[in-house]
């Protein structure tokens, strides 16, 4: 059984360790845990790892956030991965830090990466793991906050939630979206 895990973010050193790149960071954590490495390929950094008899194609799109759908569609088609075996990992302002939410579909809620996926796949019915980054910013400073680095006081919680996100990916692959939602949407 094959799965596509797509961690969203932006390429370039200036985006490393920013809130908006948490999808990349979770993808890195999952791949490292499973002994893999990433290589640059078409539209993405790609890794293929195995876990409990399942194959995971893990991508970090190089298309930048606003064109994430292009990379996801390419790798879904190339690897012949059905929509129900894809999980997108994305930052979420509407959730407090320390929270993740798994959904089987729904609104892009203004997130440009999710909008791109919807436009490219012509549906909002795909699984996503939303990683709460909080909304602790002054009015008019949303972009600065999202593209900003984690505060030192937030880093331990971020690391803990990245590990919990890896557990959620494994649960999604082994027990399905319903169980993953039950276990991790608390």
Any idea which residues carry the catalytic annotation?
Answer: 20
Q: How many other C-beta atoms can be found within 10 angstroms of the C-beta atom of residue 95?
A: 16
Q: How many other C-beta atoms can be found within 10 angstroms of the C-beta atom of residue 1?
A: 11
CB of 137 closer than 8 Å to CB of 171:
no
Per DSSP, what are the bridge partners of residue 77?
none
For residues 124 and 146, what is the distance between their CA atoms, to the nearest angstrom? 23
How close are the terminal C-alpha atoms of the chain, in Å? 28
Outline where 49-111 has alpha helix (H). Answer: 68-79
The single residue listed with the structure tokens 């909080």 is 134
CB of 100 closer than 8 Å to CB of 161:
yes
């Amino acid at each position: 059984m094959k799965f596509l895990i797509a961690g969203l973010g932006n390429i370039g050193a200036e985006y490393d360790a920013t809130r908006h790149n948490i999808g990349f960071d979770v993808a890195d954590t999952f791949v490292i845990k499973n002994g893999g490495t990433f290589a640059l390929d078409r539209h993405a950094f790609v890794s293929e790892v195995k876990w409990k008899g399942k194959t995971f194609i893990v991508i970090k799109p190089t298309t930048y956030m606003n064109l994430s759908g292009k990379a996801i569609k390419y790798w879904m088609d190339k690897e012949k991965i059905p929509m129900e075996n894809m999980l997108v990992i994305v930052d979420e302002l509407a959730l407090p830090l320390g929270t993740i939410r798994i959904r089987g579909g729904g609104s892009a809620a203004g997130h440009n990466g999710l909008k791109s996926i919807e436009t490219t796949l012509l549906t909002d019915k795909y699984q996503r793991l939303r990683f709460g980054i909080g909304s602790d910013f002054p009015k008019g400073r949303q972009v600065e906050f999202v593209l900003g680095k984690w505060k030192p006081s937030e880093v331990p919680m971020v690391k803990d939630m990245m590990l919990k996100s890896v557990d959620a990916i494994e649960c999604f692959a082994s027990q399905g979206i319903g169980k993953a939602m039950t276990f991790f949407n608390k």
